[in-house]
Chains A and B, each alone.
Chain A
């Protein structure tokens, strides 16, 4: 059941964003910023955690979940370190994800070459 929830929730988020991309003139970069901010906001008002418990990876993998991750990281760091936590928390929480993206993309770039579109 976990798998099914992850699948349809994650898919729904992607579908909604796709509609946003097609129906508005929003550039991809700006759409991503909207997602991250929305996720952080939803996390701040306490909505994202229960959502993530229900949908698992369907909620944590999309960029919406990344916004929530940033929020969580900052909150925990502020609780522990005070003011400095604002600057430390986001990076600490997202370090694994960002490093993984960097390292894996680099490895991919060693194997694959950009080809001409046809």
Chain B
């Protein structure tokens, strides 16, 4: 029986399965530690389009199509898409998915969008409101820089604390039909703001939100860190990871052994000059599709807590001197025998 549990979680007993996933990335991601695991690598960062935004839209469409192919489904069979991206007014999503002709819920969770989309998709399936539902998100380095920092043509230098927005899109199809990985629970995050104003230190801004979701997840499900093979954040990076472990330990839990961060996994810091690590909606999405889900499917990991985090700032809020609030969306993923 699916039910609310604790303060922020839902226990999904009846089974929502991830029946297919697809990852589309750019060349930098393919040059990193996860090379060979992605479904499609696009060498051309413009993807044959005239703007970075349209390139990101193209990636979304390709990811959606690949996920559909792998599941043997047609777009018409998908009841809902839950999707979002980093750009203003979600233009990558709107222009990317319009031709799929599928009812769409556009989401903004910044870099936590993957977790948010999977959470809402799971709730929809469990509620009996769709046989097949798609969760999808993307980010593109160049469009994100233009949105949040400076356009590439400006030629600015990036500080060492900055993260590198992943160029990638991940798509996931959820269903009641059996798959090898299921979503067994979700813990939805709240906006947590510790007053961090440094937009170059996103890890510090988002770690408190991740901590809140992790701790609440333990309390809501009556679990310990060791109940999970891995506790995976999206893009806290090296700096954020340290802060998170510290914050969580103050709540009485030690996650040093099993914490993992997609932003750390996706790039090689030494050889790829990516400073603090990877970030963006695509970071957690493609790492989930290419790296985490296969390990869960094979049973190498039995249960993980996947919680990408987002920094809820805009260029305007930052320029007006506002701090950076964070949010995290937790999804419990389990191996199915």
The residues of A with any CB-CB pair to B shorter than 8 Å are 25, 28, 109, 114-118
1/0 contact string of B152-191 vs chain A (CB within 8 Å): 1100100000000001000000000000000000000000
Q: Which residue of A lies closest to B164 (CB)?
A: A117
Q: Which of A25, A28, A115, A118 contacts B156 (CB 8 A)?
A: A28
Q: How far is the CB of B284 from chain A (nearest CB, A)?
A: 21
Which residues of chain B are near A109, meaning CB under 8 Å?
A: 153
Contact of B45 among A25, A28, A116 (CB under 8 A): A116
Q: Are B198 and A25 in contact (CB under 8 A)?
A: yes
Chain A residue at minimal CB-CB distance from B31: A118
Interface of A is mostly: loop
- CA–CA, A20 to B27, complex, Å? 35
Complex Cα–Cα for A24 and B26 (A):
34
Partner of B141, one of A25, A28, A114, A117: A117
Quick check: A114 and B151 within 8 Å, CB to CB? yes
B141, A116: Cβ atoms under 8 Å? yes
**Those of B266-298 within 8 Å (CB) of chain A:** none
Inter-chain contact B198/A115, CB cutoff 8 Å: no
A98 to B134, alpha carbons, bound, how many Å? 52
B26 cross-chain contacts in A, Cβ below 8 A: 116
Which residue of the partner chain B has the closest CB to A118? Answer: B28
User: Which of chain A's residues has its CB closest to B27's CB?
Assistant: A118
Interface flag for B142 (CB, 8 Å): yes
**Bound CA span A25–B198, Å:** 9
Q: How far is the CA of A109 from the CA of B151 in the complex (A)?
A: 14
A118 neighbours in B (Cβ, 8 Å) = 27-28
Give me 20 A-to-B residue pairs in the complex whose CB atoms sit less than 8 angstroms apart, sorted by A's number: A25-B198, A28-B156, A109-B153, A114-B142, A114-B151, A114-B152, A114-B153, A115-B152, A116-B45, A116-B46, A116-B141, A116-B142, A116-B152, A116-B167, A117-B141, A117-B142, A117-B145, A117-B152, A118-B27, A118-B28
How many Å lie between the Cα of A109 and that of B153 in the bound state?
9
> For residue B152, which residues in chain A have a CB less than 8 angstroms away from its CB?
114-117
A-facing residues in B25-44 (Cβ within 8 Å): 26-28
Residues of B contacting A115 with CB < 8 Å? 45, 152
CA distance A116 to B142 in the complex (A): 7
Residues of B within 8 A of A114 (CB): 142, 151-153
Which chain A residue has the least Cβ–Cβ distance from B159?
A22
What chain A residues lie within 8 Å of B142 (beta carbons)?
114, 116-117
CA of A116 to CA of B47 in the docked complex: distance in angstroms?
A: 12
